[in-house]
Amino acid sequence: MKSFIRSKILVVFFVLLCTKVFSQDFNLFLQHIEEVRLDGTTQRSTSDSISKITFTTMVNGIKLDWDHLIKVKDVEVVDGQGNPLRMVKDMFYKNEYSDSKKIDFPVEAPTRQTTRINTFKGRLLYFTPTEENKGKVIIRDFLGNKKNLFKDIDQEIELTLVKDHELIDIQKEFQKQVDEEVEKRKKEVGEISKDEQREIEYTRRLFDEMLGLTDNGWAYTLTFRSNKKINEAYFSFEIFNAEGRPISTGYSSVGDLYQYHLTDAPAEGCYIQVIREVDAAVQELKFEFNDVVLP
Amino acid sequence: MDKIKTNILTILLWCLLGQAGLSQQAGLVYQGIEENRTVNNEKNCIEITTRVQGLELDDNHLIRLKDMTITDDSGNTLAHLEETYYLPIYHYSNNSQKVLRLEAPSRKARQISVKGTIEYFTISEDLHSKRNFTDIQQQYHKNLLAGNDATMVLIDLEGLSRLKKEDEAGYSKKVRQLHKNAGVGTTLEHAKRYLDNALADYGLWHGEATKQLHLYREDPNNNILDVKVYKNNESQSGGASFGSNTFSYSLKEGLTPEMELQFIVKNDSAIKKIPFTLTVNLP
């Protein structure tokens, strides 16, 4: 994240334009402004709804696809009266890497009498994972590998393939743990209620189904043990067949176990592709708009 | 004794105060506002959500808002935008919630004032806002809404058609009667042209004559709100169509004497006008 792409920001707007040059390629265009101001209860809002203003921008001049992604790092907005306006990160706000040119910046609305925004600036993260910068990791010949699959890639990550016979042991161990918990609970309350019993049975069944020990509907699965939460540690984790076609459709997880559902049987030549946000694969792009007139 | 008197007086006073507090004054109350401002081609607008309170509302007690003027605190008048179809404000309905859609004021404005009238419309036979007619076949060729500032004349197309074929002079006489006595046509010439056209269309129509009601309609003030035919309280509507002076009503079954033709018609005695003023602080 230390190296910046040289970027040029073009602010195209109907009243007052301001341009700041950072590079020759990257441009962020301010395309649209929409403000929603609320009070009381209406058909679309409640008394605690926040009035907000959304700046819609478009990224241009850089490549965007599944190997070239972008998201917001930080934003600073100051209105014409010098008041900072914080980002509104409500249930509708998502800041995830995407290949979309469009980026929305929802911020709390300024006072009604404010007619301009002094500064609207921030940084975007441009994520270009490749095998060279280690943002993209390809793990081959892993089906017979019992060791840590990340051994030579990242010392902090431990990812191992769990064999079917190990799953049976894990299942037994889990059921034993549940039995112990049930006994402990019995000592505490005397008799376990029907609701609690149903919950215990549901937990046992869920675990069995997740690990494919009962007929869980998945024809082919591969199970991994990971010391990091896969959904948090990686941008994506997919399994491909030898021809380079993705065969994983998702996963179920319990504890540190992750069971991947596959469309085809895992066969020789299949490989894992992990996309992860490492410093060398991410560049910061600065942008700044000044003196933006409000509608 | 004095103590008892004091107690009775206190109780009476509480009762009176309680009643005063409980009786809601009829009017429009503010619930919320949403303002949308944008730089694209859409209009900046505000939607003020209000509720009508203190009025009984049901199928026979309807309201609409009328004669509204909206100004901001700089004296600028704000235009109305189209009403939302699901929450009508300018058409009668029994929904107490009214959403006013207006063009947005400038950012400098802090407050807006809404002045207007709630029209409270009661549908009842006593107030002549509900007009019922049984034995419909006996109602041909007279203005059913005389006294309601509107004309609705049920035309016997089958009978007129026969008359025109068999007795041209008798038909011309009937046309003059329909114009003079029932109010069909603004002029005699108009009445003749209207009926000739209606009969020409009828000649081309191959439906069942008893399943169609044809009414001549004049309603310059839009007083007629609804037309229905009922049989044992069940609507017989098979669809309706409007022309400039024509209202055609299709029936599910052939016309029988027990069917009831019903008009819902506005008139001054059925409408109570309640003025309101609403001040809204802008968000």
Cβ-defined contact of A37 to B31 (cutoff 8 Å): no
C-alpha closest to that of A260 among A282, A286, A291, A234: A234
pLDDT tens digits along A145-162: 888 998 888 888 899 998
Residues B34 and B88: beta-carbon distance below 8 Å: no
pLDDT at A58 over 80: yes
Task: Label residue B22 by pLDDT band (50, 70, 90).
Answer: very low
Contacts 24+ apart (CB under 8 A), A251-258: A252/A210, A253/A210, A254/A206, A254/A207, A254/A210, A254/A211, A256/A225, A256/A226, A256/A227, A257/A162, A257/A170, A257/A210, A257/A211, A257/A223, A257/A224, A257/A225, A258/A223, A258/A224, A258/A225, A258/A226, A258/A230
Tokens of A160: 């191992």
Q: Name the A residues in 141-180 with CB < 8 Å from any B CB.
A: none
pLDDT at A72 over 90: yes
- Look up tokens 């009238």; give the residue: B117
pLDDT above 50: residue A9: no
Q: Indicate the residue of B33, B44, B283 with minimum beta-carbon distance to A295.
A: B44
Write the secondary structure of chain B as one string of H (helix), E (strand) and C (coil). CHHHHHHHHHHHHHHHHHHHHHCCCCEEEEEEEEEEEECCCCCCEEEEEEEEECCCCECCEEEEEEEEEEEECCCCECCECCCCCCCCCCCCECCCEEEEEEECCCCCCCEEEEEEEEEEEECCCCCCCEEEEECHHHCCCCECCCCCCCEEEEECHHHHHHHHHHCHHHHHHHHHHHHHHHCCCCCHHHHHHHHHHHHHHHHHCCCCHHHEEEEEEECCCCCEEEEEEEECCEECEEEEEECCCEEEEEECCCCCCCCEEEEEECCHHHEEEEEEEEEEECC
Banded pLDDT at B238 (limits 50, 70, 90) = confident
Residues, chain A? 295
Instruction: Give pLDDT, residue A2.
Output: 43
The answer to whether residues A118 and A241 belong to one domain is no
CB contact under 8 A, B34 and A36: yes
Lowest pLDDT segment from A184-193, A208-217, B219-228:
A208-217
A44–chain B Cβ distance below 8 A for any pair: yes
**Mean per-residue pLDDT, A207-213:** 66
Q: Which residue in chain B has the smallest CA separation from A293?
A: B39
Q: Do A119 and A11 fall within a single domain? A: yes
Whether residues A110 and A223 share a domain: the answer is no
- H-helix or E-strand containing A159? strand A159-162
What total of structural domains would you count in chain A? 2
Mean pLDDT on A193-219: 75
Residues A118 and A247 placed together within one structural domain of the fold: no
Tell me: do A144 and A249 sit in the same domain: yes
Amino acid A17: pLDDT: 36
d(CA A292, CA A116): 5
AA letter at B264: I
Specify the DSSP class assigned to residue A246.
B
CA–CA separation, A112 and A79 (whole Å): 11
Taking any CB pair shorter than 8 Å as contact, residues of chain B touching chain A are 30-40, 44, 47, 49, 87, 99, 107-110, 281-283
- Position A8 scores a pLDDT of 40
Unique residue bearing structure tokens 């500064």: A119
Q: Are residues A166 and A187 in the same domain?
A: yes
Do A61 and A109 share a domain, yes or no? yes
Whether residue B14 is predicted with pLDDT greater than 60 in this model: the reply is no
Q: Which of A5-19, A238-252, B229-243 has the highest mean pLDDT?
A: A238-252
A167 and A244 in a single domain? The answer is: yes
A188 shares a domain with A262: yes
Token digits for A76? 């600073």
Measured CA to CA, the distance from residue B225 to residue B135 in angstroms comes to 22
CA distances from A3 to A23, A75, A144 (A): 12, 19, 40
β-strands B61-72, A159-162: how paired? unpaired
Cβ A249 vs Cβ A237: under 8 Å: no
What does the pLDDT average to over B123-150?
Answer: 93
Whole-angstrom distance, CA of residue A117 vs CA of residue A129: 35
Does the beta-carbon distance from B283 to A37 stay under 8 Å?
A: yes
Average pLDDT value for residue range B106-124: 96
Amino acid at A158: E
Q: What average pLDDT does range A236-247 have in this prediction?
A: 95
Average pLDDT over residues B262-271: 94
- pLDDT for position A206: 75
pTM given for the model: 0.74
pLDDT at A212 over 70: no
A269 and A164 share one domain: yes
Answer whether B46's CB lies under 8 Å from B106's CB. no
pLDDT tier at A176 (50, 70, 90 boundaries)? Answer: confident
Residue A41 sits at the chain B interface (C-beta within 8 Å)? yes
In whole angstroms, what is the distance from residue A69 CA to residue A82 CA? 33
* % pLDDT > 90, chain B: 71
Q: Does A36 touch chain B (CB under 8 A)?
A: yes
**Which of B214, B280, B206 has the alpha carbon at shortest distance from B47?**
B280
Task: Give me chain A's average pLDDT, please.
Answer: 86
Q: What is the ipTM of this complex?
A: 0.73
Q: What is the pLDDT of residue B242?
A: 83
What pLDDT sits at residue B183?
94
In which domain, by residue range, is A260 found? 136-276
Cβ contact (<8 Å) for A40 and B31?
A: yes
Over residues B46-70, mean pLDDT? 94
pLDDT in tens, A73-87: 999 999 999 999 999
- How much is the average pLDDT of B65-86? 86
Q: Are residues A61 and A104 in the same domain?
A: yes
Please enumerate in sequence order all residues whose Cβ is within 8 A of that of B164, keeping only pairs 6 or more positions apart, or say none: B171, B199
Does residue B164 register a pLDDT over 80? yes
Q: A48: nearest CA in chain B? A: B32
Ranges A52-56, A200-204, A227-231, B263-267: which has the least confidence: A200-204
Does A42 contact B281 at a Cβ distance shorter than 8 Å?
A: no
**Residue A21's pLDDT is what?**
35
Task: Quickly tell me which residue has 């009328």 as its tokens.
Answer: B66
- What average pLDDT score do residues A1-28 get? 47
CATH code, A112: 2.60.40
Q: What is the pLDDT of residues A92-120, one digit of tens each?
A: 888 999 999 999 999 999 999 999 999 99
Alpha helix (H) residue ranges in A27-130:
none
Average pLDDT over residues A240-250: 94
Q: What pLDDT band is residue A213 in, cutting at 50, 70 and 90?
A: low
User: Which three-class secondary structure state does DSSP give residue A281?
Assistant: helix
Q: Pick the residue from chain B with its C-alpha nearest to A54.
A: B38
Q: Which of A38, A113, A294 sits opposite B283 (nearest CB)?
A: A38
Q: Does A38 touch chain B (CB under 8 A)?
A: yes
Q: A249-289, pLDDT tens digit by residue?
A: 999 888 888 989 999 999 999 999 999 999 999 999 999 99
Same-domain status, A88 and A17: yes
